[in-house]
Structure 1
Amino acid sequence: MTSDLTGARVLVTGGAKGLGLRTAQAIVASGGSVVIGDIDEQAGADASTALGAAASFVTLDVTDDASWATAIDTAVDNLGGLSGVVNNAGIEIAELFFDLTAEAIRKILDVNVVGTALGIKHAFRAMRPGGRAGAGGAIVNIASVAATIGFPGIAAYSASKSAVDRLTKVAAAESGRLGYGVRINTVCPGLVPNAMGAKLAVDMEALGLFPSVDEAVGAVVALTPSGRLATEDDIANGVAFLLSEDSAFVNGVTLSIDGAMGM
């Protein structure tokens, strides 16, 4: 059971698959409407169709400023306003420090950091007083437990997600001081056994950090006091809370949904 989102109008980036899709589903199930923004046009269109009349799709490359401007305008038009943005789109590339490549680092930072920063920028422009939506709202940035622990093989990814957390703090301070009426919070999910999580486990074996995929997953569970991996529902419900009026005085926080792995 998620928080009541009746009347919420939300853009979810990376919403065609995985956690982004589950978040979009939770928003619709809780009474809101959603625009899925994704670079994968076919998957995004299919996801939107499956969600029904409360959902639509817009092509969005989060690394591109002009693409963001178009996507926000489309979201406002399709939804009849905008009350929330979930900056979920992200990528993960596993490399040992010994083999780090500038190309992979830049790609991760471009999507995870630049993409989130541009999302905050354009959400502010739309939702602040005088913007096209203009009634305030909420932004939820998706980071990772990797921002809070030192797990091997994911240095650039971890750095990017730590940066997302810092972006959130600064954005919350600016929004408050300038009277935007927009709350900004971060969610740090634990490892989720979806396609992205499974790829990480495979990468850990390939890098020689663990003898098998099962042992890589087992190591994560062993580091988690709650004794299990996260589910997409665990994360989506937390995002729904931060979008809802139930969290009206929650601003600039980092909500770790990781079973205490990152404590």
Structure 2
Amino acid sequence: MEIRHATNPTDFKLYTTDRLRSDFLMENLFIEGELNLVYSHYDRVITGGVVPKEEEIKLPIIEQMKTEYFLERREMGIVNIGEPALVNVEGETYELNKRDCLYIGKGNQHVSFKSKNPDNPSKLYFVSVNAHTPYPVTLMPIKDATPVKLGSNAESNSRTIYKYIHSDGIQSCQLMMGMTLLEPNNMWNTMPAHLHDRRMEVYLYFDMDASSRVFHFMGQPHETRHLVVQNEQVVLSPPWSIHSGVGTNNYTFIWAMAGDNYTFTDMDFIPMEDLR
């Protein structure tokens, strides 16, 4: 498991492109036959990717966590971004098709991942955060998630948001998770930009072709920077940072949040004249 330490915004101003990418970009979560993890000191979020082939892959015991099992004091949300997957939780198997979400609450000791067809492996993306109360394991197929239409073609941000784990959906302690799909010919995921200093956020960009890129903007409103992001790469967004992006084509992204507040609308929008 890779460890990423937190950064203060004063030091952030001096970062080179390589340092930005090293601290905030996850480039290789999805490798066939592997489970990969990144632990962030921002709200103790663990981000993971697993691509099972012939062998079932178990959620491991991580020495750095100092717990008897992974979800002893944690919860997690999983979204499949590949072919059909089978996730086994304490002996019960859940089938996830592409864009389906599975929530696993605190206290589940045995979790494993398997591709339904090893020749066409699934790609499971998950985010895990600290939890103090157990909530039931819940599967939400994308067909059961309520779509919310936002934006417009005139603003180049016509998009559909699916909220999976939140106060009116799958219940959790502090994890919030959902997915945003941009319509063809729409490239901005949000603008004006916003931040929420009470919680961090993590973004997975996917459903992009090999030549497409997303320019992910981050930093304080008066001191912005950007990351150039490829398909199936993940960005950590600190609480003090804006998070907005524009692509060379339309794309899809999964957002997950953790921190103090459990309200989707807890956002501090930044006036355009304040961005630099």
- Fold match (TM-score > 0.5): no
**Higher RCO (CA 8 Å, separation ≥ 6 residues):** 1
**Please, what TM-score do these two structures have when normalized by structure 2?**
0.30
Task: Give 1 or 2: higher helix fraction.
Answer: 1
Task: Give 1 or 2: higher strand fraction.
Answer: 2
